Chains A and B, each alone.
Chain A
Amino acid sequence: MKYSYYPGCAQHGTAVDYRMSVEAVFRRLGIELEEVRNWNCCGALHVDDRTVRVGLSARTLAQAKGLDLATPCNLCYSNLMRARTALEDTALRTRINEALTAKYDGNTKPKHLLEVIVNDFGLGKLAEQVKNPLKIKAVPYYGCLLTRPENKFDSPENPVSLDNLISSLGAEPVKYYYKTKCCGGPILLTNEDLALSLARDLLAMAKESGADCMVVTCPMCHLQLDAKQKAVEQKYNISLDMPIIYFTQLMGLAMGLSPKELGLDKHLVPAGKLLAKIGGSNAGK
């Protein structure tokens, strides 16, 4: 299996742990990710000119060389999917193609890495790779942009792909009402109070569910729920201590990879207690 790969900007910085786990896990599964050469930012939610925003993703779509285009980030994924739809408008596509050296033909299919694992690789095959079934409870947190607005691979209201992935690793996905509720990530710098209140709701609900960790699929959600968790605890005078784990890290742990190799020591909320509970081949590493 081979994909064109668009990592997105966060993989250079705040999501370096995500990158480490993606590299380790995909290598182990034999899924090849060929990074797009000289890629550009997708504009996230902050490039306000629509034509430019679509143009940024059009350039990425045009570089996929006939392969499906995989990405680890919900924001990048959503932008690529929306650009793909927007570029069905041939007038817009022609206009944007004038700016591009390699023209976009309208045929690239973007896929989130979760979709690659669940739909293309298959959870049955994944379960065969599990060396250390995870006897833990985990919150399947999808965030906003994995399933909205037009990402057809799972339901925008009650998605199940991440639940199923967690089950296939031997862990129990807890019932979680806020599966797709916004974490506040996009406004964490500009409207901190509001962002923290959104994160508080998610984290408190996770705590209440009795979960050992929350599983995420997006660098922005991780930043907000992991790196800002201490700020939430301080502001609301509550104790959370809720490890936030990328789904690729969870896969790696079940496949017997070491926590260090998966970047788990780079989290702001320590994963020690979770790792002790998981035990098995990961204990003490």
Chain B
Amino acid sequence: MAKETIFPESRDVAFRDLILKSPGCEKIPTCMQCGICAGSCPVSHEMDYTPRQLVRMIQLGLKQEVLNSNTIWICTSCFSCSVRCPRGIRPTELMEALKPIAIAEGIKNKNSKFDQVFSDVVRKNGKASEFLLISKYGLSEPGVIKQAPFGLSLIFKGKLPLASYRMEDTRELNAIFKLEKTAEEEAYKESKTKEPIQKQKDEGEEGVSK
């Protein structure tokens, strides 16, 4: 059970406060580290921090560690943790809140690339053609070629039409995509320009037990 010491300069209060305002994250301050989230998670063994640890890290405002963790991207969004948390925290929604922030901070990986490809396909066509998704993602992530036999087996069964399908009229869709960037995020950006990382007075704090 190694303990890491957390230094004041690695804590980002504005980041923490932004997350605490996100839906499903409001009750993060009440977390008692019971760990039912980590125990319920089907993939926590692959995460560098379990959901329980990540919640503690949010309490502490450990922005860089949180945003660089693979936890956000390993999550399959199954919501097992979220229906079981005795405090009413929804760790799945925490991951959802963190994704756009991580992307805005320049984090790139296979999953963020897939999300980008998916969003672009929907933005452009209004519908998610699976063939377009697989082929576009395959171009940005060459390792996917391993799954070519899977794609071919679907094509053979007539389950992966090569013609992409789209909405007849995308005007409303365009307006919806223009809603990107919430008011909270704008406020957060503003606060960052006004007062850089707020230093805490305390001498570090017992942090995340591994």
Q: Which residue numbers of A lie inside 8 Å of B, CB to CB?
A: 9-10, 12-17, 38-41, 43-52, 55-56, 58-59, 86, 95-96, 98-101, 144-145, 148-149, 156-157, 180-182, 184-187, 189-192, 194, 198, 227-228, 230-231, 266-268
Contacts and interface: CB of A to CB of B under 8 A. Distances in A.
B131 interface: yes
B77 A186 contact: yes
Nearest to B134: A189
B176 A99 contact: yes
A186 B76 contact: yes
Contacts of B119: 43, 46-49, 52
Contact of B179 (A39, A41, A43, A51): A51
Contact of A12 (B82, B129, B133): B129
B79 A144 contact: yes
B179 A95 contact: yes
A145 B79 contact: yes
A98 B168 CA distance: 21
A219 B97 CA distance: 26
Interface in B118-176: 118-119, 122, 126-131, 133-134, 137, 141, 144, 146-147, 150, 153-154, 157-161, 165, 167-169, 171-173, 175-176
Nearest to B178: A99
B114 interface: yes
Contact of A149 (B90, B154, B173, B177): B90
Given A12-B127, A40-B127, A48-B99, A144 B80 contact: yes
B110 interface: yes
A157 B73 CA distance: 24
B204 interface: no
B57 interface: no
B80 A182 contact: yes
A230 B147 CA distance: 12
A51 B167 CA distance: 20
Nearest to B114: A190
B159 A14 contact: yes
B73 to A, nearest CB: 8
B100 interface: yes
A91 to B, nearest CB: 9
Q: Interface of chain B, helix or strand or loop or mixed?
A: helix
A156 B146 CA distance: 35
B147 to A, nearest CB: 7
Contacts of A41: 122, 126-128
B32 interface: no
Contact of A51 (B133, B157, B168, B182): B182
A227 B147 CA distance: 11
B74 interface: yes
B144 A189 contact: yes
Interface string B167-196: 111011101111111100000000000000
B114 A52 contact: no
Given A13-B160, A198-B42, A182 B78 contact: yes
B126 A227 contact: no
Given A46-B114, A192-B146, A148 B80 contact: yes
B111 interface: yes
Given A9-B129, A194-B74, A46 B176 contact: no
Given A48-B103, A52-B177, A227-B153, A43 B122 contact: yes
A148 B131 contact: no
B127 A96 contact: no
Contacts of B110: 190-191
B118 A46 contact: yes
B29 interface: no
Nearest to A62: B172
Nearest to B43: A194
B172 A100 contact: yes
27 contacts: A9-B128, A9-B129, A12-B129, A14-B130, A14-B154, A38-B169, A46-B115, A46-B118, A47-B115, A48-B100, A48-B115, A49-B119, A50-B97, A96-B179, A99-B175, A144-B76, A144-B78, A148-B78, A148-B80, A181-B80, A184-B76, A187-B111, A189-B147, A190-B111, A194-B43, A227-B154, A266-B158
